[in-house]
Structure 1
Amino acid sequence: MNDKPLKSETPILGTDHIILDFWQWGFSKILTNNLRGIFAEFLIGTALGCLNQLRVEWDSFDLVYKDMKIEVKSSADIQAWHKEKYSNISFSIGAKKEYDYETNKYSPTVKRNADIYVFCLLKEKNLELIEPLNMTQWEFYVALTKDLDIHFPHQKTISLNSLKKIAHPSTYEELKKTIDGLL
């Protein structure tokens, strides 16, 4: 399997298409839950300058920055499927077994496997204005895993109000400084 980033002009062999065609078709609706989450991981990686390896699906953490494992979580008031009301903002923080891709086994221990959690909130509430590519529409909350373990030891999810008790919002521009201040 190729562990190098694809280039947009890479041909899809046996067709008259390139990989950019696939990306545009399959990955343009960033407001969907799965793509918003992956996009949030990308945003944190760009803010910290730590996109030095390709994303690993279902890894026990999302990024590594200064030898610290980072878990990125995403939520939004507006979902891709329009509802009559805003979503309740919550983020997954449940402990899990760590999967080892080298041994193809799960660890016996259930825990939060990252050192830091970054919670990304796409906060725009106007369906006509929402634009995930606009960094002014995002807020980022950074929490050390040890603080989550102290304040919310057995919770599987955390609400925005509970999160605000241990973390303050940061902008995209402030994110690196916020994280560096916790290290």
Structure 2
Amino acid sequence: MNNERHLKSETPILGTDHTILDFWKWGFSNILTNNLRGIFAEFLIGTALGCLNQLRVEWDAYDLVYKGMKIEVKSSAYIQAWHKEKYSNISFSIGAKKEYDYTTNKYNPTVKRNADIYVFCLLKEKNLELIEPLNTAQWEFYLALTKDLDIYFPNQKTISLNSLKKIAHSSTYEELKQIIDGLL
């Protein structure tokens, strides 16, 4: 099967009476889980920038490309699907990594931050009864150029929200494109 093609929701799962939509509903509906919240955050940034023209590549060195700029998307939330007794401390991964080359099937020996810009997405709602990841008003976004992360946090693997706020541009979903265009 060609994994480069887009599946339609009504695509049948051969040998069953189910469709790919049934699978998506079953496996990918709880956006409060860490892995799906992160993928959803990438999707949100891609929709704001209009750059969802390529399928997502798992474990790529960056998440999106917009006007030639490589974008890394990170997400965090106060409320987790797996632990609801107290709020999570907000931090984001910013560690340097080796870039994997899918054409040569090898890692680049250089360890660095491979994106040009980072977009940090915070699902900010703290009320379990009101949290709705599909509501963009419940998200805050922070944009930081990689060169600023390299200057102020050269060896850090994670960054707290307070530290991030010192160097990042804050944004709503509606402002994302305009602010990123201004950073280009």
TM-score by length of 2: 0.98
Instruction: Give the RMSD, CA atoms, in angstroms.
Output: 0.6
Tell me the distance in 1 between the aligned counterparts of 2:147 and 2:135: 31
Counterpart in the other structure of 2:154: 153
Counterpart in the other structure of 1:50: 51
Deviations 1:108-130 (A, max 9, x none): 10000000000000000000000
SS at match of 2:70: strand
Tell me the distance in 2 between the aligned counterparts of 1:172 and 1:15: 40
User: Contact 2:101–2:108 at 8 Å: present in 1 too?
Assistant: yes
Deviations 1:120-151 (A, max 9, x none): 00000000000000011000000000000000
AA partner of residue 153 (structure 1): P
Query: Where do 5+ consecutive residues of structure 1 fail to align?
Result: none
Deviations 1:82-108 (A, max 9, x none): 332110000000000000000000001
Tell me the distance in 1 between the aligned counterparts of 2:65 and 2:181: 13
Counterpart in the other structure of 2:181: 180
Deviations 1:13-41 (A, max 9, x none): 11111000000000000010000000000
Matched positions, count: 183
Query: Where do 5+ consecutive residues of structure 2 fail to align?
Result: none
AA partner of residue 69 (structure 2): M
Counterpart in the other structure of 1:139: 140
Tell me the distance in 2 between the aligned counterparts of 1:159 and 1:30: 22
Tell me the distance in 2 between the aligned counterparts of 1:2 and 1:61: 20
Tell me the distance in 2 between the aligned counterparts of 1:168 and 1:142: 5
**1:77 is aligned to 2:78:** yes
AA partner of residue 170 (structure 1): S
Tell me the distance in 2 between the aligned counterparts of 1:37 and 1:124: 16
Q: Post-superposition shift, 1:4?
A: 1.3
Tell me the distance in 1 between the aligned counterparts of 2:176 and 2:17: 42
Q: Post-superposition shift, 1:45?
A: 0.2
Residue correspondence of structure 1 range 90-109 to structure 2 within 5 A: 90-109=91-110
User: Contact 2:120–2:141 at 8 Å: present in 1 too?
Assistant: yes
AA partner of residue 100 (structure 2): Y
Q: Which runs of 4+ in 1 moved over 2 A?
A: none
SS at match of 2:107: strand
